[in-house]
Amino acid sequence: MQTIISDKWANANNQGKDLIFVQIASYRDPQLIPTIDSLISNADDPSRFIFGICWQYGPDEDPNVYDDKPNFRVYKAHYTESKGLGWARNITNQLYRGEKYTLQIDSHHRFTPHWDTMMMEDFAQAKEMSEKPVLSTYVPPFTPGEPLPNAIPSLMSQYEFSADKLLMSMPYYIPNYQNVKRVIRARTISAHFFFAEGRFIDEVPYDPDAFFGGYVEEATLSARAFTHGFDFYSPFRCYLFHEYTRNGRPKIWEDKPKDTGKWDIHARNKTRQLMGQEEHGIDMGKYGLGTIRSLHDWEVYAGFDFKNCRLAQYTLEVREPPNPVPWDEGFVKKSHNFTIRWDVAKLKAEVDAKDGVKLKVLTLGLESNASLTLHRADMFPDKNPEVFSYTQSSAQVQFETCDKPTKWVIWPLFEDGSWGACQQGNL
């Protein structure tokens, strides 16, 4: 089916007006229309909103319902034409026509009465602290068909790097939130809710290769926005809710598993290249870092270390940035003491199968969740004879590190230069 876009508003120009351009990428989501209805019905001034929607519709949806609405710009694509989340958000960017503000949400939200007034009040606070603020957070969850909960407002917290070196975030409830009366400085942007001046779209256009959310989409968007001079703030109260699970809904990776697998690998490689962790020869073009601040400026502000996949203690405690101590002193070392036990029978069987080739070294490594070696202990025949005579099958390991060890690995190295089978376990 041909992809179509309504050109009714293609030449609309709202430059200079205090309108809010609402960006929504929707993939086969029955919550899209209820989300828009909730946004409009609970707003104090619904006339301010211009909607830009990339509607990736399924067979049970009617993407023409907003054709006669003057405040809707809808890009209509059959779901089989979709190329992922970043692609869809990039299209919503292209529907922007110079509105003063932009609000990005997902297609599955609910709003409280007067939410727009509260959001504008919070943004005004942020504007007093920054020339280029972004209001954003992980908002509380809701369940479709149920009343909105009495929720506690939350921050975005960063708690670890994934096994493939990607920054992970999760909600963290604001302590003593009843007494908080101002927006809170933040380290990252949530893709399911951010509010900024419209120039954000021009300066930080959405990367169409950011296939999946969270550790790819939000990490790269935050890095690019910060280096373009934007500052992040969390609201201190709840006025919208997000459905996190989308249980029972069609997902693009289920509809197009072969394509999405390739897109996901490329997006992860591009993310690691952007963060200076790996080089993949990808041309970043206009989707690279900005020039107002450096990536390391963001690391210092937020307590990140992308090269070594580390988070500062102050960051792990979810304390308000900027991190107050010198960057390289923020990664506090902790003492660890582990007893590592391996399968000595398996090791001996492998040595016996080498037909006279002797075991040269047994390498023991303690690794982080991102598979970075935090501590290494090599065992040799002359220093550890019990290990090489197979009468000892354990080792006591003591060391200090900034990161949390999560697993151990043992690799046997033979005198012919070959490696044996790895043994490993969780700590």
Q: What is the largest CA-CA distance in the chain?
A: 83
Domain with CATH 3.90.550.10 in the chain: 4-262
| Radius of gyration from C-alpha coordinates of the chain | 26
Give me 224's structure tokens: 């690019």
- pLDDT value at position 275? 98
Give me 203's structure tokens: 């300066």
Give me 384's structure tokens: 């550890």
Instruction: Please tell me the distance from the alpha carbon of residue 374 to that of residue 408, in angstroms, as a whole number.
Output: 10
- pLDDT value at position 16? 45
Pair type for strands 240-242 and 109-111? antiparallel
- pLDDT value at position 17? 58
What residue type is 227 in one-letter code?
T
Instruction: Please tell me the distance from the alpha carbon of residue 419 to that of residue 342, in angstroms, as a whole number.
Output: 16
Burial of 258 by CB count in 10 Å (0-12 exposed, 13-18 middle, 19+ buried)? exposed
Closest CA to 137 of 91, 172, 102: 172
- pLDDT value at position 414? 86
CATH T-level assignment (fold) for domain 334-426:
Immunoglobulin-like (2.60.40)
CATH T-level assignment (fold) for domain 4-262:
Spore Coat Polysaccharide Biosynthesis Protein SpsA; Chain A (3.90.550)
Helix (H) / strand (E) element for 396: namely strand 394-401
Instruction: Please tell me the distance from the alpha carbon of residue 371 to that of residue 163, in angstroms, as a whole number.
Output: 6
- pLDDT value at position 413? 87
Which residues sit opposite 409 in a β-bridge? 365, 424
- pLDDT value at position 23? 98
- pLDDT value at position 175? 81
- pLDDT value at position 201? 98
In sequence order, what are the residues at sequence separation of 6 or more whose Cβ sits closer than 8 angstroms to the Cβ of residue 293?
226, 227, 228, 229
Instruction: Please tell me the distance from the alpha carbon of residue 344 to that of residue 58, in angstroms, as a whole number.
Output: 56
Q: What is the pLDDT along the chain (427 residues), one digit of tens a residue?
A: 344 444 444 334 444 459 999 999 999 999 999 999 999 999 999 999 999 999 999 999 999 999 999 999 999 999 999 999 999 999 999 999 999 999 999 999 999 999 999 999 999 999 999 999 999 999 999 999 999 999 889 999 998 899 899 999 999 888 888 999 999 999 999 999 999 999 999 999 999 999 877 789 999 999 999 999 999 999 999 999 999 987 778 999 999 999 999 999 999 999 999 999 999 999 999 999 999 999 999 999 999 999 999 999 899 889 999 998 899 989 877 889 999 999 999 999 999 998 888 999 898 989 888 877 888 888 999 999 999 999 999 999 998 888 789 999 998 888 877 888 899 999 9
Length of the chain equals: 427
- pLDDT value at position 340? 94
Domain with CATH 2.60.40 in the chain: 334-426
Closest CA to 243 of 22, 20, 32: 32
3-state secondary structure of 135: strand
